[in-house]
Amino acid sequence: MNVGCDDMHTLSPRDGPILTPHSTLWLPDDPSGTFARSSLWAVHIFRLLEPHETRALVALALEHAAANGWSTRRHKHHPTTDIAVERETAPALHSAVKPLVARVVLPTLALHYGFELCELQMRDLFVVRYQQGAQDRLTPHRDGNLLSFSILLSDPSEFEGGGLRFHSLGPACDACGGLRAAAATCRRCDGVGRLALPGCGCGDLTTHSGKLLHEGARVTSGTRFVLVGFVHVTSPEIDHEFISHGSLANSSAVGAWADHECVGGARLSPPSSPQREMHTAFDDETALAAHLFGG
C-alpha cells in the first residue's frame, strides 16, 4: 500500500480539531496536601482514528520496516523497537502523521494541559512494536519531556496483555489485588499492582505527562503497534531544571509519591482554565507546523 500526501486528508479525527476525552483518570490527591491537583495529573483518552486509518499507518510502518528494519537503539534508556517518523528517513509515514499531529494532537494537548500551542514542540515521534517473542514490554520509566501521547494502531483483538500502565493510577491488578506483598511476584502485573489503562480502543489517543511513572505492559500474544510522541514544553511556568533531572526521567525505582512530587512540582502556577481561547503567534499552518516540528 502506498499512502501519498493527498490521502493524508483521510486521517480525520472523529470529533473535530480539538478533541474531548471519552475517559480521564486522575492521580489521587496528595494526602499530605503539599501538592495541589494540576492538569498534569490527568491521563486522557480520546477517540481519534478510524480502523481503516490505523491499518493504513501500520501498513506504512511495515513497508518501512521491510526495507529498513526496526530500530532498537534510538533511546539510550528504555529503548523501544521502533521506527522514527522523520521526513528524511520515513517520508511516507511522516507525511501521513505530521498533519494529524500538528492540527489535532498538539492543539488537544495544549488545551487539556493548559499551555499555549506555541509553547509545545515535538521532540520525538515514532511507531513502536511490541510482540511476543521479540520486545514485548517497556520497563517502568518516565519520559524525557513533560508531555507524551500515544495512539493505539492495533485492534485490541490482535494482541493479549499490553497497554499503557501507570504506577499511580488505573485499576488494581485483578490477580494479586494490587497489594504490595502479593504484587511483588505477580506475573499478571509484573509487580506493579495495577493493570494497563482500560478502555483504550483501536485509534484512540492517550495523553499524559511523561513524568508519571509508566510502562508498556507485556504483550503475551500477538502484536501491538503504537505511535508515540514526546512533546517538550517551553512555558515559563515549568521548572525545567526540576523536571529534566535525569533520575526522574530514567529511574526505574517505584517510589510511592515520586510521581506526584515530580508532576506537582513541575508547574509553578495553577493551570489556566481549559475553556480559554487557543492562542498562537503563527498566522499560517505551515509556519506553525514548522515551529512545532522544529523546522
Ligand X SMILES: O=C(O)CCC(=O)C(=O)O
> 276-279: long-range contacts at Cβ-Cβ below 8 A with a sequence spacing of 24 or more?
278/18, 278/107, 278/110, 278/111, 278/116, 278/117, 279/116, 279/117, 279/118
Q: How far is the CB of 153 from ligand X (least distance, A)?
A: 11
What span, in angstroms and rounded, lies between the C-alpha atoms of 75 and 73?
Answer: 6
Helix (H, G, I), strand (E, B) or coil at 181: helix
In the complex, the smallest distance separating the C-beta of residue 216 from ligand X, rounded to whole angstroms, is 3
If contact means CB under 5 to 8 A according to the sort of partner, which of Fe ion, ligand X, none does residue 128 touch? Answer: ligand X
State which of positions 7-26 bind ligand X (CB under 6 A). Answer: none
* Shortest distance (Å) from residue 143 CB to ligand X: 5
Closest by CA to 203, choosing from 169, 155, 167, is 155
124 binds Fe ion (CB under 5 A): no
Burial class (CB in 10 A: 0-12, 13-18, 19+), 86: middle
Helix (H, G, I), strand (E, B) or coil at 217: coil
Interaction pattern, residues 66-95, with ligand X; x per rule: CB under 6 A: --------------x---------------
Q: Does 228 bind ligand X (CB under 6 A)?
A: yes
Does 215 engage in binding with Fe ion (CB under 5 A)?
no
Rule CB under 5 A: choose which of 124, 143, 204, 259 binds Fe ion: 143
Distances, alpha carbon 271 to alpha carbons 200, 261, 275, in Å? 26, 16, 11
Nearer to Fe ion, 136 or 143 (CB): 143
Answer yes or no whether residue 209 interacts with ligand X by CB under 6 A.
Answer: no
Contact positions toward ligand X, by CB under 6 A?
80, 128, 138, 143, 150, 164, 214, 216, 226, 228
